[in-house]
Chains A and B, each alone.
Chain A
Amino acid sequence: MATTSVLLSGFGGQGLLFAGKMLAYSGLMENKEVSWLPSYGPEMRGGTASCSVVISDEPVGSPLVLEPDILIAMNRPSFLKYIGTVKPGGIAIIDSTMVEDRPERDDISFYAVPATQLAQDSGLKGLANVILIGKLVKESGCVTPESLQAAVPKCVSAKRQELVGYNMQALEIGQAQ
């Protein structure tokens, strides 16, 4: 019974909910059970925001991820808040453009990706979130890269399908890290 729980965290506006949706849709492409739950409320206005995603072979019970298998942290407050909650043996990926800290624990796999910088350098400003998802899928194998690519057009608004290419590019950058 394989279940992967993911917590995506950072500032409101960094595209965490979108990144989470991309991941959830990837699970759906593999015929798995998935759930996506945003934090909602005043913290979304410039404060910390987070999004829980569960991908499982079984119906998802609680969609709220308190102890993630995989953590993405895109700012310092969420890194400090959640790094201790990652399950032993789990994965933490940070946007190292935004977070200079490093974990004080060695029982997790840790990856520092300068996603915001990479996005900027590649003319993909605002797609640091997608770069990190590329990295997440590469390191965890929770879904296949093919499923992830298939999910992109589903997540991009029907009226803005010209953005699919940029997202694909961002995924590739993430997977190359």
Chain B
Amino acid sequence: MVQNKDKVLMKGNEALAESAVRAGCRFFFGYPITPQTEVSAYLSKTMPKVGGLFLQAESEVAAINMVYGAASAGARVMTSSSSPGISLKSEGISYMCGADMPCVIINVMRGGPGLGGIQPSQADYYQATRGLGHGDAFLIVYAPSTVQEMADYVYAAFDKADEYRTPVLILSDGMLGQMMEPVVLPEPKDAPTDKPWATTGTKMARKHNVTNSLYLDPQELEDTIVERQERYNKVKENEQRYDAYLTEDADIVVVAYGATARVARNAVNAARAKGIKAGLLRPITLWPFPEKILTELAETASSFLCVEMSMGQMIDDVRLSIHDSKPVNFFGHTGGIIPTPDEVLACIEKSAAGETFNVVPYKSKMKGGE
């Protein structure tokens, strides 16, 4: 087993960037934005050393279309941005879904809507898990919770993107991107070369491949969408990932992902110390959402508590997963404020007392809050 002292201390953004290179990614197209900047900065230094390409595009829209081009040619390719930049990329992402192009997209979330702020947030959950662009499409969405997972899931994301021929999104946030933790980086691997659909030149030996998301014949379009849906169904069946912490005997199941899950874990430990049977279900894939385990937990838990850095978005998926069979309470902060373990503990205690609630503390004196 690797000991902590043998690990290196790295920022989440940098560990992710290095891990992408080790996964065989050799093309990166991006446009600067806080708090993802270290991803771009790291790759601008590293890509030339490994024979790869780093390009700072003239805009996010240009960057995602360069990703589209590189993916069409069969390359392992990535782009990275933060919330407003992801909105700009959404058109290109939809095109890539429509053309079944594998790629990896990083969103280091910050406060929104609009330009919002630059502090950590989880308010892009709906955007990430509902396809991100227009049309009947989804992306596989990983939500790392540690710097180690930033490295691990970007490494896995490239394989899943190729396996299911789909863009994969890493939904991180400013806290995970900026913080340093001990990490073991994965071993370098080669990118796969067996992509018979890639537009790599026919060599006069086969019919030419076409990358396209335009189908003017409705029947043809419906056929492609239904075929893609069958792949999505396989993803839902095989790719639900989660981490269950002290959930077996839990009365109160806290559901939280990413940075918030770390805070929730502290609170669960504190609640256990007070004799409250609390547990933490941490979704690692947000799409597909880990609905199977939640359905199981609904049989034994008295209530659920969603904690998010948003006004309450993932809570919808929790309620859908358990068919509203148990109360689902909510506690959140937004705008860049990170919930504290004490706040979450207080909510676990309220849940244990049988209260139902949906709270985002409102403290602004200016607008007449408390």
Most B C-beta atoms less than 10 A away, residue of A59, A60, A64: A64
A28 in contact with B338 (CB, 8 Å): no
Name B's interface SS: mixed
CA distance A14 to B42 in the complex (A): 24
CA distance A61 to B266 in the complex (A): 5
| A11 CB within 8 Å of chain B | no
CA distance A64 to B119 in the complex (A): 13
CA distance A163 to B146 in the complex (A): 31
B244 CB, nearest partner CB in chain A, Å = 15
| A79 CB within 8 Å of chain B | no
B262 in contact with A28 (CB, 8 Å): no
B182 partner residues in chain A, CB cutoff 8 A: 28, 33-34
| B341 CB within 8 Å of chain A | yes
Contact of B178 among A30, A37, A66, A154 (CB under 8 A): A37
B119 partner residues in chain A, CB cutoff 8 A: 41
Can you list, as one digit per residue, whether each of B161-185 has a CB less than 8 Å from chain A (1) or not (0)?
0000000000000110011111000
B180 in contact with A66 (CB, 8 Å): no
A32 partner residues in chain B, CB cutoff 8 A: 4
| A153 CB within 8 Å of chain B | no
A37 in contact with B175 (CB, 8 Å): yes
| B70 CB within 8 Å of chain A | no
CA distance A32 to B9 in the complex (A): 12
B45 CB, nearest partner CB in chain A, Å = 13
Most B C-beta atoms less than 10 A away, residue of A36, A59, A154: A36
B322 CB, nearest partner CB in chain A, Å = 26
| B340 CB within 8 Å of chain A | yes
A41 partner residues in chain B, CB cutoff 8 A: 34, 118-119
Can you list, as one digit per residue, whether each of B255-269 has a CB less than 8 Å from chain A (1) or not (0)?
000000011011001
B180 partner residues in chain A, CB cutoff 8 A: 21, 24, 35-37
Q: How many residues of B contact A (CB 8 A)?
A: 25
A31 partner residues in chain B, CB cutoff 8 A: 3-5
A61 in contact with B179 (CB, 8 Å): no
Contact of B9 among A34, A38, A59, A63 (CB under 8 A): A34
| B35 CB within 8 Å of chain A | yes
A25 in contact with B4 (CB, 8 Å): no
B7 partner residues in chain A, CB cutoff 8 A: 28
Contact of B266 among A25, A33, A36, A62 (CB under 8 A): A62
B5 in contact with A61 (CB, 8 Å): no
CA distance A40 to B4 in the complex (A): 26
CA distance A33 to B173 in the complex (A): 21
B262 partner residues in chain A, CB cutoff 8 A: 60-63
* Closest A residue by C-beta to B336: A41
| A98 CB within 8 Å of chain B | no
| A29 CB within 8 Å of chain B | yes
Q: Known A28-B182, A31-B4, A37-B178; judge A61-B265 contact (CB<8 A).
A: yes
B34 in contact with A63 (CB, 8 Å): no
CA distance A33 to B148 in the complex (A): 12
Can you list, as one digit per residue, whether each of B21-43 has a CB less than 8 Å from chain A (1) or not (0)?
00000000000001100000000
A36 partner residues in chain B, CB cutoff 8 A: 9, 179-181
B178 in contact with A25 (CB, 8 Å): no
* Closest B residue by C-beta to A150: B5
CA distance A46 to B269 in the complex (A): 39
Residues of chain A in range 1-48 having any CB-CB distance to chain B below 8 Å: 21, 24-25, 28-38, 40-41
23 residue pairs A–B, Cβ–Cβ below 8 Å: A21-B180, A25-B9, A28-B9, A30-B5, A31-B4, A32-B4, A35-B180, A37-B178, A40-B35, A40-B118, A59-B265, A60-B262, A61-B262, A61-B269, A61-B341, A62-B263, A62-B266, A62-B338, A62-B340, A63-B262, A64-B175, A64-B340, A154-B9
Given contacts A62-B263, A62-B338, A63-B181, 5 further A-B contacts (CB under 8 A): A25-B9, A28-B182, A36-B179, A61-B265, A66-B340
The 7 closest A-B pairs by CB, nearest first: A61-B266, A36-B180, A37-B179, A62-B263, A31-B4, A31-B5, A61-B262
